[in-house]
Amino acid sequence: MGSEITKEFLENIELLISGKKNKALLKLLSEEHPADIAEILGDLGSDDATYLFKLLDSELSAEALLEIDEDDREKILKNLSAVEIAVELDELDTDDAADIISELPEERVTEVISEIEDDDHAKDIVELLRYEEGTAGSLMAKELVKVKETWTIPTCVRKMRSQAQEVRRVHSIYVVDKANHLIGRLSLKDLLVASTKDNVSNIYIPKVDSVHVNDKGEDVARLMQKYDLEAIPVVDDDNVLIGRITIDDIVDLIKEEAEKDYQMAAGITEDIDADDSIWDKTKARLPWLILGLVGGLAAASIMGGFEEALTKYPVLFFFTPLIAAMAGNVGVQSSAIIVQGLANDNLKGSLVNRMFKEIGLSMVNGIILSAFVFIFGFFLGYEIHISITIAISLIIVIILASLVGTFVPLILHKNGIDPAVATGPFITTCNDIFGISIFFYIAKLILGF
């Protein structure tokens, strides 16, 4: 359980910083986890955060730099020189270093890379920066432990010891041939019990799951989840082993995608935080609000076309919000289930079967809800044909809204558009318009105006 950063604790740190009590600061923070250090840095002002960051041991400060919020990290990085940033990157795995350096302004990237002392580390970072964001290549780290099938067991152990010094966590040991093609994995247990006269080729396991460098991150996440993997190797077109992806990177990816989908479902087009500027928030929210406004105006226009009906049967007006709300709610429910299924890759069966299933489910829900409306109208003394009109309209609206909510995400997904768009104001606005149109046209057929 991490320690809680209290107001008093933070004030004490600020007091020590103002008095430049460096030894006392280091002693106070010596037992803190990097995540707690990151929280402290985020709560401090820019100057105090930079002062404390520079005071910390480079290994600890690098770990804290990974944990800190992106906006808080930016305020620290802009106060560091290229050499100081390079020192931090030297302490990090290539994937983490690439993530941080990608946040720097373009003019600083080359300068920082040129200051990294380890040339191989710098080359690996540059390589990772070339991969498209969201692919396996952009997620992988170059650090791993690999052995050749031709090595003897003593040679294998010696080489592994040397490689492990550069790897923070050894999840798996990969086996390659002379051309560095991935051919299997090595069990640590098998290695420990093997004879010193054996070769790796006699004990390695030829079955190993891997991903291509250009595979989508979501596909990598599904594969690792399916087989409960802590790490997975990454290969190129020739099946050459070029890196590995660990579970912590996948967790970060899933978290980012979940936050993105949640915001899109709420009608926010860009990734924003609570502390962002009014202008940034306006740009993210306004497009969907405009869509809602257009939808509202369209609905008002439709109702205007039935002014005679509203004059003759004013009770219809009071049920218009009910019809629109039910259409929106049903559409969002259906689309949310489909989007979740697409995200988890567990949608099974044909579209025809899914369509009939949705129609059946919608009919059951529609009949039950319409019965409540019918009973409600009976007790309020509505004319029977009014209650029938509302009940039938509700059933049809629910069925159509369910179908729209089901197939719009599928169509968007097929055309390469994030289906999460369909769970927000888009689907609600569309179903509001459809619902009101259907309601009044059915009323026209039954009531004859």
Question: Among 141, 144, 143, 137, which residue's Cα sits nearest to residue 217?
Answer: 137
- DSSP, collapsed to helix, strand or coil, labels residue 184 as strand
Instruction: Per-residue pLDDT tens, the chain, 449 aa: give them.
Output: 455 778 888 999 999 999 999 999 999 888 888 889 999 998 898 899 999 999 998 888 999 998 888 888 888 999 999 999 999 999 899 999 999 999 898 889 999 999 999 999 999 999 999 999 889 999 999 999 999 999 999 999 999 999 988 887 888 899 999 999 999 999 988 998 999 889 999 999 998 999 999 999 989 998 998 888 999 999 999 999 999 999 988 888 877 776 666 555 555 555 555 556 677 667 666 776 776 677 777 877 877 777 776 677 778 778 888 888 888 788 877 877 777 777 666 666 676 777 788 788 888 988 898 888 888 887 888 888 888 888 888 898 888 888 888 887 888 777 777 776 656 667 777 777 888 888 888 888 888 76
- Token match 């569309």: residue? 430
pLDDT of residue 21: 92
pLDDT of residue 362: 84
Instruction: Tell me which CATH code domain 278-447 carries.
Output: 1.10.357.20
- DSSP, collapsed to helix, strand or coil, labels residue 3 as coil
- State the DSSP H helix or E strand holding residue 146, giving kind and residue range, or none if neither: strand 145-148
Q: Give the CATH fold of the 145-247 domain.
A: CBS-domain (3.10.580)
Radius of gyration of the chain (CA): 30
Rounded Cα distance, 371 and 376, in Å: 8
- The DSSP-derived string for 208-264 is ---EETTSBHHHHHHHHHHTT-SEEEEE-TT-BEEEEEEHHHHHHHHHHHHHHHHHH
Q: Is it true that domain 7-136 has CATH number 1.25.60.10?
A: yes
Rounded Cα distance, 61 and 2, in Å: 18
pLDDT of residue 449: 65
Question: Among 62, 55, 64, 50, which residue's Cα sits nearest to residue 27?
Answer: 55
pLDDT of residue 1: 42
pLDDT of residue 324: 82
Task: Measure CA 92 to chain center.
Answer: 23
Task: Measure CA 157 to chain center.
Answer: 39
Cβ-in-10-Å burial (0-12, 13-18, 19+) of 315 comes to: middle
Question: Among 145, 162, 266, 238, which residue's Cα sits nearest to residue 200?
Answer: 145
Domain boundaries, the chain: 7-136, 145-247, 278-447
pTM of the predicted model as reported, rounded to 2 decimal places: 0.65
Rounded Cα distance, 185 and 169, in Å: 16
Q: Are 369 and 398 in contact (CB under 8 A)?
A: yes
Ranges of H-type helices in 345-423: 351-380, 384-414
